[in-house]
Homo-oligomer: A and B are copies of this chain.
């Protein structure tokens, strides 16, 4: 069979059109002129032998085979870019580049230990860390935007393309102002609580719901905030308590303290997650730092 003249550029272009929803929009997004898009897409369609896009008068849409192709092309492009990124050395002397996502809840010393080990093994590798919500992290892992992530283990956090492996667990404690008195567990029900917004803290809130229900605790959520910094600030201001993994105690602002709640059973587990299609030598080394990875695995 005649070998294809399609290159990475073509995939970028097609994915751009699919995401932008139009040739002109894609041209702007990719920083090139619109006719170049037209030509690239046409060349690719000719090579593949089918139309990727349906040119409607109002907007373009994917044909059925086009949708399948774009889906595969995303993986292919992500893998390609990972390969380059993992090998590339920049001007500042680092060799290789790994992009990691982590949940705000995972901000304990455990990650640092693993990272230190990785750094010793592969010195000079640049590690880029992004704080992301669990759901965003899953999406970005699936799309290949990040290489690995540390997120909350929860039965609702799953994706066919993503593998997960528990890394550590921590009990949940009560966060309160340093100078506040220890409350009785019974008085907590009905007491004001500040919590992360359900939309962004979905899995953690679900976990807390279950643990609280089991312990007979009914926190009165009087305020919901977007991120951890604000959460702690509000607690420090006396707006209410909040629940947080005990592991994070050392990272707490000086104005706050943590109280173990023996009646609150169960714990929060952080897992490392990665797209099992995402595979470079560098990422294998990285994952190896966080527990043994399965080798040949016999499915089902």
Contacts and interface: CB of A to CB of B under 8 A. Distances in A.
A163 B49 contact: no
A121 to B, nearest CB: 13
A238 interface: no
Interface stretch (A5-13, A129-137, A197-205, A243-251): A5-13
Interface stretch (A64-72, A206-214, A221-229, A258-266): A64-72
A146 to B, nearest CB: 15
A162 B79 CA distance: 18
Interface of A: 1, 4, 6-9, 11, 47-50, 65, 68-69, 71-73, 75-76, 79-84, 86-91, 95, 158-166, 276-277, 279-282, 291-300
Contact of A47 (B88, B159, B162): B88
Nearest to A122: B68
Copy number in this complex? Answer: 2
A83 B90 contact: no
A82 B4 CA distance: 12
5 contacts: A11-B83, A49-B90, A72-B281, A76-B79, A76-B83
B8 A7 contact: yes
A279 B75 contact: yes
A165 B1 CA distance: 31
Contacts of A86: 68-69, 72
Nearest to A76: B83
Given A7-B8, A86-B72, A291 B295 contact: no
Nearest to A87: B69
Given A76-B83, A80-B76, A158 B296 contact: yes
A294 to B, nearest CB: 5
Nearest to A74: B83
A18 B267 CA distance: 50
B1 A296 contact: no
A282 B68 contact: yes
Given A76-B80, A277-B279, A87 B295 contact: no
Contacts of A91: 49
Contacts of A69: 83, 86-87
Contacts of A163: 296-299
A88 B48 contact: yes
Nearest to A4: B84
Nearest to A88: B48
Given A4-B84, A48-B88, 13 more contacts: A11-B80, A48-B84, A68-B86, A68-B87, A76-B82, A79-B79, A79-B277, A161-B279, A162-B296, A164-B299, A276-B277, A276-B297, A294-B299
